Amino acid sequence: MKEKLIVIGNGMAGIRTVEELLKLAPDKYTITVFGAEPLPNYNRILLSPVLAGEKQFGDIVLNDDAWYTANGITLHKGKEIVKIDRVRRKVVAADGTEEPYDRLILATGSNPFVIPVPGKDLAGVVTFRDMYDIERMLAAAKSHKHAVVIGGGLLGLEAANGLIKQGMAVTVVHLLDTLMERQLDRPSAALLKRSLEERGLTFLMPAQTEAILGDTQVRAVRFKDGAEIAADLVVMAVGIRPNFTLAKSAGIHCDRGIVVNDTLQTYDPRIYAVGECVQHRGQTYGLVAPLFEQAKVCANHLAELGYARYEGSVTSTKLKVTGIDLFSAGEFQGAEGCEEIVLKDAGRGVYKKVVLKDNRVQGAVMYGDTMDGSWYFELMREGTDVANLRDKLLFGQAHLGDSGHGDIKTRVASMADSAEICGCNGVCKGTIVRAITEKKLFTLEEVRAHTKASSSCGSCTGLVESLLAATLGGDYSTTPKKKPLCPCTEHSHDEIRSAIRDQKLKSIRAVMDMLAWKTPDGCNKCRPVLNFYLLVAWPGEYVDDNQSRFINERVHANIQKDGTYSVVPRIWGGETTPAELRALAEIAEKYQVPTVHITGGQRIDFLGVPKETLPAMWGDLSRAGFVSGHAYGKAIRTVKTCVGKNWCRFGTQDSTTMGIELEKMTWGSWTPHKFKLAVSGCPRNCAEATIKDFGVVCVDSGYELHVGGNGGVKVRATDFLCAVKTPEEVKEYCAAFLQVYREEAHYLERTAPWVERVGLAYLKRRVVEDEVGRKALAQRFRHSQKFAQVDPWAERAKGADRHEFIPIAQIA
Partner 1 sequence: MSSMGAMKKQQADWIEIGALEDIPRQGARVVRGCDGDIAVFRTLDDEVFALRDRCPHKGGPLSQGIVHGKKVACPLHDWKIHLETGMAVAPDEGCAARYPVRVDAGRVWLMLTPEEGAPAS
CA distance 335 to 333: 7
Query: Among 267, 442, 550, 787, which residue interacts with partner 1 (rule: CB under 8 A)?
Result: 550
Residues in region 515-544 near partner 1 by CB under 8 A: 519-524, 527-528
The answer to whether 548 contacts partner 1 (rule: CB under 8 A) is yes
Judged by CB, which is closer to partner 1: 96, or 807?
A: 807
**Alpha helices per DSSP H over 504-577:** 508-514, 526-537, 551-555
Cβ-based nearer residue to partner 1, 157 or 512: 512
For residues 371 and 412, what is the distance between their CA atoms, to the nearest angstrom? 9
User: Taking the complex as a whole, how short is the minimal distance between the CB of residue 748 and partner 1, in angstroms?
Assistant: 13
Contact 243, 113 (CB under 8 A): no
Dihedral-angle region of residue 564 (phi above 0 means left; psi in -120 to 50 means alpha; beta otherwise): beta
Q: Does 337 participate in binding partner 1 (rule CB under 8 A)?
A: no
64 vs 75: CA distance, rounded Å: 11
Task: Kindly give, in sequence order, each residue whose CB lies less than 8 Å from that of residue 620, ignoring residues fewer than 6 positions away.
Answer: 587, 590
Cβ proximity to partner 1: between 343 and 559 the closer is 559
Q: In the range 552-581, which residues lie near partner 1 by CB under 8 A? A: 552, 555, 559, 561, 563
Q: How many residues bind partner 1 (CB under 8 A)?
A: 26
Specify the residue, 347 or 520, whose C-beta has the smaller distance to partner 1. Answer: 520
Compare residues 559 and 717 and give the one whose CB is closer to partner 1. Answer: 559
| Interacting residues with partner 1 between 776 and 805 (CB under 8 A) | 803
* Closest separation in Å from C-beta 811 to partner 1: 5
User: Counting Cβ atoms within 10 Å, is residue 765 exposed (0-12), middle (13-18) or buried (19+)?
Assistant: middle
> At its nearest, how many Å lie between partner 1 and the CB of residue 671?
20
- Do β-strands 90-93 and 228-230 pair in parallel, antiparallel, or remain unpaired? unpaired
Which amino acid, one-letter code, is at 731? K
Structure letter (DSSP) for residue 767: I
CB 558 → partner 1: shortest distance, Å?
Answer: 11
d(C-alpha 540, C-alpha 506), whole Å: 11
Question: Least distance (Å) from partner 1 to the CB of residue 564?
Answer: 10
DSSP single-letter state for residue 69? H
Q: Where are the beta strands (DSSP E) in 503-617?
A: 558-559, 565-567, 595-598, 604-609
Is 94 a residue that touches partner 1 (CB under 8 A)? Answer: no
Q: Cα 529 to chain center, whole Å?
A: 29
| Closest separation in Å from C-beta 562 to partner 1 | 8
Minimum distance of partner 1 from residue 522's CB (angstroms): 6
Per-residue contact flags (x/-) with partner 1 for residues 198 to 237, judged by CB under 8 A: ----------------------------------------
Binding string, residues 470-509; x marks residues near partner 1 by CB under 8 A:
----------------------------------------
Instruction: Report in angstroms how near the CB of residue 645 gets to partner 1 at its nearest.
Output: 45
- The CA-atom distances, in angstroms, between 176 and each of 181, 182, 366, 525, 556 are 8, 11, 21, 61, 73
Contact 732, 774 (CB under 8 A): yes
Mark residues 423-452: x for contact with partner 1 by CB under 8 A, - for none. Answer: ------------------------------
Among 305, 416, 514, 551, binds partner 1 (CB under 8 A): 551
Nearest to 125 by CA among 145, 150, 103: 150
* Nearer residue to partner 1 within complex by CB, 216 or 810: 810
- State the minimum distance, in angstroms, from the CB of residue 552 to partner 1: 8
Nearer to partner 1, 454 or 558 (CB): 558
Cα separation, 719 vs 734, whole angstroms: 14
Instruction: For residue 568, give the nearest of 614, 528, 634 by alpha carbon.
Output: 614
Please name the helix (run of DSSP H) or strand (run of DSSP E) that holds residue 597, with its range, or none: strand 595-598
CA atoms of 91 and 104, how far apart (whole Å): 9
For partner 1, the binding residues (CB under 8 A) are 519-524, 527-528, 546-552, 555, 559, 561, 563, 803, 807-812
